[in-house]
């Protein structure tokens, strides 16, 4: 992959890149379209499909994470992807994670709260694999989804701090008709869990309505408590966190006004889902 990317660079071909963990859906394909738009018809679009083990905690769903490479390749082909890069664990972490891999990329400010607090080793795995993928694919442009708002902010930060020559584009979240953010993990939502999962988006919309109706900024503690109660009225929903913060610095907001960003993580049954929105 790297040799191929270098050959493209020598020819002056622009490379657009969409890193994924596979089990693709329309949200991923919208990122592909955005990458194509960014590099133009003369550019090339690469999609990586790799379920990165280092971003999963010991009790998380690495082994059961949904996979369907044949379908993923068909979707990529239909979307006009030029190259699908599907590395193995041994290729990404030679000579094997347990035997010799010892170099990590860490971001130490934006990664402390929210997902970083709930999943302490998660972002170390994300930033390391993203750095490796950038070094392998050598993209001019990389596209990430806004559903993982904190992740996108952290990727932007490592690109800035480590001088990666990559333009980061954060594309809008794609949603199902009822508002549920598209996610590979939605496959786990069977029976009435699928209907209950819409409460994440409803909570975002409820927070937006409350903030916009208020004459002055709202106390975040009160708003978080109200939203937790609202979400957990669903019989199988359990809040991991609700947080309000500055959209770029991710600094926690004590008072919530217009322009403040909100993120939340909720277990619906055993499936952990995330979402976010701007107030």
Catalytic residue annotation: 28
Which phi and psi angles does 173 have, rounded to 5°? -65, 135
What is the 3 state secondary structure string of 211-272? HHHCCCCEEHHHHHHHHHHHHCCCCCEEEEEEEEECCCCCCECCEECCCCEEEEEEEECCEE
What are the structure tokens assigned to 162, written together?
């480590």
Angle 273-202-122 from CA coordinates, rounded to 5°: 20
Which phi and psi angles does 243 have, rounded to 5°? -140, 150
Pairing status of strand 15-20 against strand 141-145: parallel
CA distance linking residue 106 with residue 53, whole number of Å: 16
CA distance linking residue 143 with residue 38, whole number of Å: 9
What are the structure tokens assigned to 112, written together?
């402390």
CA distance linking residue 68 with residue 71, whole number of Å: 6
Matching residue, tokens 């990404």: 92
3-state secondary structure of 27: helix
CA distance linking residue 190 with residue 30, whole number of Å: 25
**CA-wise closest residue to 265 among 236, 244, 242:** 242
């Amino acid at each position: 992959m790297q040799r191929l990317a270098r050959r493209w660079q020598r020819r002056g071909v622009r490379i657009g890149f969409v890193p994924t963990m596979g089990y693709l859906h329309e949200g991923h394909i919208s990122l592909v379209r955005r990458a194509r738009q960014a590099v133009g018809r003369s550019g090339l679009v690469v999609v990586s499909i790799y379920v990165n083990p280092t971003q999963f905690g010991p009790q998380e769903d690495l082994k059961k994470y949904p996979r369907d490479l044949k379908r993923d390749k068909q979707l990529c082909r239909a979307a006009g992807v030029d190259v699908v890069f599907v590395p193995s664990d041994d290729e990404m972490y030679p000579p094997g994670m347990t035997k010799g891999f010892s170099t990590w990329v860490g971001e130490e400010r934006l990664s402390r709260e929210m997902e970083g607090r709930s999943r302490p080793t998660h972002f170390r795995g994300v930033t390391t694999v993203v750095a490796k993928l950038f070094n392998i694919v050598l993209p001019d442009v990389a596209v990430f989804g806004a559903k993982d708002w904190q992740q996108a902010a952290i990727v932007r930060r490592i690109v800035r701090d480590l001088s990666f020559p990559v333009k980061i584009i954060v594309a809008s979240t794609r949603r199902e008709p009822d508002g549920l953010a598209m996610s590979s993990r939605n496959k786990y939502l069977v029976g009435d869990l699928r209907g209950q999962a819409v409460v994440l988006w409803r909570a975002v919309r409820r927070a937006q309505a409350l903030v916009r109706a208020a004459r002055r900024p709202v106390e975040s503690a009160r708003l978080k408590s109200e939203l937790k109660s609202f979400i957990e009225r669903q019989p199988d929903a359990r809040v991991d966190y609700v947080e309000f913060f500055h959209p770029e610095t991710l600094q926690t907001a004590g008072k919530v006004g217009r322009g403040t960003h909100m993120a939340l993580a909720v277990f619906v049954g055993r499936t952990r889902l995330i979402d976010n929105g701007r107030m």
